[in-house]
Chains A and B, each alone.
Chain A
Amino acid sequence: MILAIIMVFLWGANFPLEKEETIKIGISYPLTGFAASYGNGGLAGVEYAVNEINLAGGIDGKLIELIVEDDQCDPTESVRVANKLINIDMVDVLVGQMCSGAAEAMLPMVQESGTPMILTGTSKPELVIGKDYVFRIYLNDNKIGEQTAKYFYSEKNYENVAIILENNAWGVGIRNVFVDKFSELGGNIVFDEAIESSTQDMRTVLLKLQQANADALFFPVYKENFLKGAKEMIELGIDIPVYTGDSVYTQEVLSSEVSQGKRIIIGKLNLPEEFEQRVKEFSNRETNIITPMGYDAINLFAEVISKTGLNKEQIKNELSKISYEGVTYPLIEFDSEGDLKESQIDVKEIRDKTTVIIYSN
């Protein structure tokens, strides 16, 4: 009798196996921890794109199923996330990653498994090298650092520049390229210090900056440190041009009174107001510079999968030769390493809680 009941139960439980086949996209973003706001911004774009595609009937009739994991921008967590998404959930493709350290830990597994992945927010140049399954739609440190050095020396005629950087792989990477290029051009680095993401205040490092008599400050830090530093510079009466990186391109920074007049050096990419508004109407998550990249990454895969099906090698091959008109960039194309061909920058000044382009190369 008991056996019969179990058999009936198992027979009944088999019905769900006939469920519709989906395209599984694994997402690895920091949704908690210090980089959570960037990860949530990216996820807002991802979810919006998936909603649009699924409402339109999916890709060749197959709906997209998102499997979202929180990597916390932590290398250990990233490996766990990669293992789960690739080996347990058996995703077809991957999108995400915000931090170079965490990506560095995850990407060898991604490459080995042959799962195509699009990175949407990590800039260490070496990450994609030798990994033909990994693509990036984010300007790498080499491009940003070099272009910034050229802009400082040739366009602004700054001779003595100070640097205060975030002490992590991104900050150090961009600093190294900038210092090499700026020195090669003939400029002097008169002050160069790293600050921790947990720093309580920056008054003493700013006091040192004040003594360095720099023409300008290059300040590649995350938004938390940017807001602290910008506030304390006003309080300490430090008034030199300040240039920061795209990591601060968020609504809370743009709308802060301490940010006004500061400048952001950013890859020539777009966050159209109308697009941002549509995402905000759809999602409760905050939007930021990563949002359109998340959106573009999903649409890139959708375009490729509609041509190749779910064969991972074919997806990789098709991605490597794609020319795609995205929201983020007018034309997304990859070089032989899987990095963006695009290398132009904009310098934007924060004015009236929005930005105005003051230089474009």
Chain B
Amino acid sequence: MSIIIQLLFNGLIAGAIYALIASGFSLIYSTNKFIHFAHGATIVFSAYILYFFFTVLGINFWFSAIVAIAFGCFLGYLMNLIVYKQLSKKNASKLTLLIASLGLFIFLESLILLIFGASVKTIGLIRIERGIDFFGAFITPLQINIFFISLLLLFFLFFFMKKTKLGKAMRAVSDNKNVAEIIGISHQKIVAWSFVIGSGLAGVAGILISLEQNLEPIMGTNMMIKGFTAVIVGGIGSVHGAILGAFLLGLVENIGAWFLPTGYKDAISFIILFGFLLFRPQGLLGVKRADDK
């Protein structure tokens, strides 16, 4: 019994982390319709900013966390302004934007390596202790927090997209940017806002992940693979679908790794990815459109 509960916990913890990654990633995709791979680097960079302010300079944690989120927002805004917006002005194809995002990702990863070095960094805010015992299974207070924060994000994003003016405008641009422009919604402004909010979510993700895991400059690559898979599973363009997909991915990976050798854990996520791409490309909550070919 305790094994089943522990496997569920393991899956939910992993899923919550994937959800933090996938939510911002999906939000940016919804208005831009290209895969912003550099989102992974934004998460890692924000985490390193927290490390710099909190661990290196010894500044108050909450202040450092706000700086890290603000940095994430600014970095996202800057990437859109300097790279994507300029390329879009030149009618760059989605493939060009995708390659640009990969270039940005590698550039930012190298920049982190250059500034902070290759050694593993630890935030050191929380003392590592045995988790709380639930019928023989263990979970730490931080992991419980990460789980509930990712659920909160789900509700926040649902509310934001459905009820706020900006969220509705984002949905309008996501549905059809030309029609949105006709009714007076500035496509460029909405794109910029989606980068700011999505990258702010990356900042939140960076903070929570850095508390749970150690920091390495190259950790963004794996995050993006998992985030991307979660988005595909949940339904590309559907923000709350991405969060649902993340939890499903975390659970399937961890339960699968119990029955298979652990080395297959990443393979499980790729099998899920290919399975959805082949048999349900619109994902769990996405809508199949006529132009989805």
**Is B130 located at the chain interface by the 8 A CB criterion?**
yes
What is the bound-complex CA distance between A252 and B216, given in angstroms?
12
The interface size of chain A toward B, counting residues with CB under 8 Å, comes to: 39
In the bound complex, do residue B119 and residue A37 qualify as a contact, i.e. CB atoms below 8 Å apart? yes
**B120 to A227, Cβ gap below 8 A?**
yes
A205 touches B266 (CB 8 A): no
B55 an interface residue at 8 Å Cβ cutoff?
no
Q: Which residue of A lies closest to B225 (CB)?
A: A198
Q: Is A286 interfacial (CB 8 A cutoff)?
A: yes
Q: Check B221 against A198 for contact (C-beta < 8 Å).
A: yes
Q: A201–B13 contact, CB under 8 A?
A: yes
Task: Note all chain A residues with C-beta closer than 8 A to B265.
Answer: 196, 199, 204
The stretch that binds A, out of B2-10, B28-36, B281-289, is B2-10
Q: Which of A114-122, A228-236, A305-313, A325-333 contacts B (4 or more CB under 8 A)?
A: A228-236
CB-nearest residue of chain A to B10: A203
- Residue pair A167, B266 in contact (C-beta under 8 Å): no
Within 8 A of B (CB), among A181-201: 193-196, 198-201
The answer on a CB contact under 8 Å between A236 and B262 is: no
Chain A residue contacts of B10, Cβ below 8 A = 201, 203-204, 207
Within 8 A of A (CB), among B217-266: 217-218, 221-223, 226, 254, 257-258, 261-263, 265-266
Please judge, given known A-B contacts A196-B266, A256-B122, whether A204 and B7 are in contact too, CB under 8 Å. Answer: yes
What is the bound-complex CA distance between A50 and B268, given in angstroms?
49
Is B263 touching A234 in the complex (CB atoms < 8 A)? no
Instruction: Kindly report which residue of chain B lies nearest to residue A165, judged by CB atoms.
Output: B263
Per the bound structure, the CA–CA distance linking A256 and B119 in Å amounts to 12
* A83 within 8 A of partner (CB): no
- B59 within 8 Å of A by Cβ? no
- Complex Cα gap A292–B120 (Å): 21
- Say yes or no: is A282 at the interface (Cβ < 8 Å to chain B): no
Q: B176 in the interface, Cβ–Cβ < 8 Å?
A: no
A40–B214 Cα distance when bound, in Å, is 20
Taking the nearest CB of chain B, how far is it from the CB of A143, in angstroms? Answer: 26
* Contacting residue for A252 out of B14, B119, B129, B226, CB 8 A: B119
Judge whether A300 is part of the interface by a CB distance below 8 angstroms.
no
The answer, among B121, B122, B226, B258, for a CB contact under 8 Å with A204, is: B258
Q: Which of A2-10, A28-36, A85-93 contacts B (4 or more CB under 8 A)?
A: A28-36
CB contact between A200 and one of B17, B120, B140 (< 8 Å): that residue? B17
The answer on a CB contact under 8 Å between A227 and B118 is no
Task: Report which of B3, B14, B261 forms a contact with A193, defined as CB distance below 8 A.
Answer: B261
Chain B CB within 10 Å, residue with most, of A224, A252, A256 = A224
Closest B residue to A234 by CB, please name it.
B128
Report yes or no: B261 in contact with A252, Cβ–Cβ below 8 A: no
Q: Which residue of A lies closest to B221 (CB)?
A: A198
A residues 141-184 in Cβ contact with B at 8 Å: 167
Q: Is residue A216 contacting chain B, with contact meaning CB distance below 8 A?
A: no
- Residues of A close to B160: CB separation below 8 A: none
Using Cβ atoms and an 8 Å threshold, which residues of chain B touch A253?
A: 120
* Contact (Cβ within 8 A) A203 B118: no
- Give Cα A253 to B214, complex, Å: 11
Of residues A198, A202, A204, which shows the largest number of chain B Cβ atoms within 10 Å of its Cβ?
Answer: A204
Assess whether B179 is interfacial by the CB under 8 Å rule.
no
Look across to chain B and name the residue whose beta carbon is closest to the beta carbon of A39. B118
With A and B bound together, what is the CA distance between A234 and B126 in angstroms?
Answer: 13
Are A205 and B218 touching (Cβ within 8 A)? no
Give Cα A250 to B216, complex, Å: 15
Chain B 116-160, CB-CB to A under 8 Å as 1, else 0, gives 011111100001111101000010100000000000000000000
Q: How far is the CA of A204 from the CA of B133 in the complex (A)?
A: 17
Complex alpha-carbon distance, A204 and B113, angstroms: 30
Q: Answer whether A252 and B266 are a contact pair too, CB < 8 Å, given A204-B7, A257-B128.
A: no
The interface of chain B, by Cβ under 8 A from chain A, is: 3, 6-7, 9-10, 13-14, 17, 110, 113, 117-122, 127-131, 133, 138, 140, 213-214, 216-218, 221-223, 226, 254, 257-258, 261-263, 265-266
Name the 6 nearest CB pairs between A and B, nearest first.
Answer: A36-B118, A37-B118, A205-B262, A203-B10, A204-B257, A198-B222
Q: A201-B213, A204-B257 are in contact. List 6 more A-B contacts (CB 8 A).
A: A36-B113, A36-B217, A194-B263, A204-B7, A204-B262, A227-B214
10 contacts between A and B (CB under 8 A): A37-B118, A199-B262, A204-B258, A207-B258, A208-B262, A224-B214, A235-B130, A237-B138, A250-B119, A286-B118
